[in-house]
């Protein structure tokens, strides 16, 4: 007997930039079009990576594409993002990346030295992250048909022992851990585009978070409920997805959220909310309250984790909502990003 065809809930007549921005529109596209058609009637919440059972062996697999412009920016380049991004997706799904495959879409006319620089950057990032690159594919398109270079990486990894993650296991009272300052990457890219008359000493935070995730696992594996890396859409979007998936509320103490002064200044100047800005070297972890301090200590003792902080906790109400509390007692709802973070003047 054939099952009913999946219902497409995505009704937008055309694709727009907002659909790739990581916020509500992206989610609508994924949940309303891709998931029903490609993933069948699975009711599993979508995660950063898929954990599969292949003839008795559990593996994790994920893919990510990188279309960043400009290709090079303070702190990194598209090649590093391509490696770290996939390693991180696997890490926050509870897996250690083993190997990547990579595809390049190159624009005709791209100077070879630029391509070589990115490939070298990828090789170096892979070595640092402890992954091999098993192969890949290349396509070249006509001049003007892609922005110099697009890279997709698919990664495969093995589960980190003791770590089982599920939004459904999150409980009120669990603590929200953040590995470090937010907003660095997104603001760096915005400034690197050179369209704004703004200069700042800032660089992307791109890095593999695997060592931090492994340190966390060693200290508190059974207490880790859920993890995610807040890339496009920022911390606000990621936590809103969590709140929706587990039907609980998240209460954040706003002054605990680490934000570098320069990021804060740039956001104020541009009218952007740091909570909506992409990060490429941070992750969020929900940890059971009794192990939260030990978990935090483990992160802080690991190189690169010294700025980790507990920024809030899960709560019963208001379900499905992220709230921010100020030091003086005011609260506000922190919503998911709607489209691209548009700077406001007002």
Partner 1 sequence: MKYVDEFREAGVIAKASEEIRRLADPGRHYRLMEVCGGHTHAIYRFGLKDLLPPNIELVHGPGCPVCVLPMGRIDDGLSMAEDPNVIFTAFGDMMRVPGTQGSPLEHKARGMDVRIVYSPTDALKLAHKNPGRHVMFFAIGFETTAPSTALILKRAKEQGLRNFSVFSNHVTIIPAIRAILDSPDMRLDAFIGPGHVSTVIGCRPYEWIARDQHRPIVVSGFEPVDILQSIVMILAQLKAGESKVENQYKRVVPWEGSRPALRAMAEVFELRPYFEWRGMGFISQSALKIRESYAPWDAEQRFQVPGVRVTDPKAAQCGEVLKGVLKPVQCKLFGKECTPERPVGALMVSSEGSCAAYYNYEHRKAAAFTSIGAPV
Partner 2 sequence: MCLAIPAKIVELFPEEENRALVEVVGVRRHIDTGLLSDDPPKTGDWVLIHVGFAMSKISEAEALDQIQTLTMLGEQQAALEEVEGYGLGET
Binding site for partner 1 (CB under 8 A): 14-18, 24-25, 175, 196-197, 251, 253, 255-256, 261, 264-265, 268, 270-271, 310-313, 315, 317-318, 320-321, 323-333, 335, 338-339, 342-346
Q: Is 201 in the site for partner 2 (CB under 8 A)?
A: yes
Q: Is 182 in the site for partner 2 (CB under 8 A)?
A: no
Which phi and psi (to 5°) does residue 328 adopt? -105, 15
Per-residue buried b or exposed e for 246-277, using 16+ beta carbons within 10 Å of the residue's own CB: bebbbbbbbeebbbbebbeebbeebebbbbbb
Q: Is 194 in the site for partner 2 (CB under 8 A)?
A: no
Q: Is 195 in the site for partner 2 (CB under 8 A)?
A: no
Q: Which is nearer to partner 1, 275 or 278 (CB)?
A: 275
Q: Which is nearer to partner 1, 304 or 320 (CB)?
A: 320
Give the integer Cα–Cα distance in Å for 91 and 97. Answer: 7
Q: Which is nearer to partner 2, 4 or 345 (CB)?
A: 345
Scanning residues 241 to 270, which ones bind partner 2 (CB under 8 A)? 261-262, 264-266, 268-269
Q: Is 199 in the site for partner 2 (CB under 8 A)?
A: yes
Q: Which is nearer to partner 1, 134 or 342 (CB)?
A: 342
Select from partner 1, partner 2, none the partner in contact with residue 25, using the beta carbon and a kind-dependent cut-off of 5 to 8 Å.
partner 1
Beta carbons within 10 angstroms of residue 174's beta carbon:
27
Q: Is 142 in the site for partner 2 (CB under 8 A)?
A: no
**Residues 31, 46: contact at Cβ < 8 Å?**
yes
Contacts of 219 (CB under 8 A, 6+ apart): 291, 294, 295, 297, 298
Select from partner 1, partner 2, none the partner in contact with residue 200, using the beta carbon and a kind-dependent cut-off of 5 to 8 Å.
partner 2
To partner 1, the closest distance from the beta carbon of 66 in angstroms equals 22
Give the integer Cα–Cα distance in Å for 46 and 33. Answer: 13
Q: Which is nearer to partner 1, 70 or 271 (CB)?
A: 271
Q: Which residue has the tokens 């209460």?
A: 251
Angle at 174 between CA 168 and CA 179, to 5 degrees: 100
Give the integer Cα–Cα distance in Å for 24 and 339. Answer: 7
* Sign of the torsion formed by the C-alpha atoms of 309, 311, 314 and 319: negative
Give the integer Cα–Cα distance in Å for 127 and 105. Answer: 23
To partner 2, the closest distance from the beta carbon of 260 in angstroms equals 9
Q: Which is nearer to partner 1, 158 or 325 (CB)?
A: 325
Residues that bind partner 2 (CB under 8 A): 196-201, 261-262, 264-266, 268-269, 271, 344-346
């Amino acid at each position: 007997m054939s099952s009913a065809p999946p219902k497409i809930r995505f009704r937008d007549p055309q694709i727009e930039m907002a659909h790739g921005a990581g916020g509500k529109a992206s989610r609508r596209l994924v949940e309303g079009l891709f998931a029903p058609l490609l993933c069948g009637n699975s009711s599993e919440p979508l995660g950063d990576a898929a954990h599969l059972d292949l003839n008795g062996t559990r593996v994790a697999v994920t893919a990510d594409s990188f279309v960043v412009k400009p290709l090079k920016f303070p702190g990194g380049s598209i090649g590093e993002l391509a490696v770290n991004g996939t390693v991180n997706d696997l890490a926050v799904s509870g897996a250690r990346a083993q190997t990547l495959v990579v595809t390049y879409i190159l624009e005709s006319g791209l100077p070879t030295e630029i391509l070589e620089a990115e490939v070298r950057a990828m090789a170096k990032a892979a070595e640092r992250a402890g992954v091999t690159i098993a192969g890949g594919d290349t396509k070249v398109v006509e001049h003007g048909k892609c922005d110099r270079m697009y890279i997709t990486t698919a990664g495969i990894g093995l589960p980190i022992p003791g770590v089982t993650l599920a939004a459904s296991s999150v409980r009120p009272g669990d603590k929200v851990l953040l590995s470090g300052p937010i907003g660095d990457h997104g603001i760096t890219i915005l400034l690197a585009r050179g369209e704004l008359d703004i200069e700042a000493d800032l660089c992307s935070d791109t890095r593999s978070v695997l060592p931090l995730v492994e340190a966390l696992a060693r200290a508190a594996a059974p207490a880790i409920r859920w993890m995610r890396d807040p890339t496009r859409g920022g911390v606000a979007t990621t936590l809103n997805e969590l709140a929706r998936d587990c039907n609980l509320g998240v209460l954040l103490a706003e002054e605990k959220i680490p934000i570098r002064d320069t990021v804060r200044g740039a956001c104020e100047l541009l009218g952007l909310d740091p909570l909506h800005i992409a990060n490429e070297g941070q992750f969020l972890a929900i940890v059971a309250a009794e192990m939260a301090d030990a978990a935090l200590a483990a992160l802080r003792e690991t190189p690169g984790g010294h700025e980790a902080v507990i920024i809030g906790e899960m709560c019963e109400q208001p379900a499905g909502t992220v709230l921010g509390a100020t030091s003086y007692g005011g609260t506000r709802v922190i919503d998911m990003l709607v489209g691209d973070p548009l700077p406001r003047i007002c």
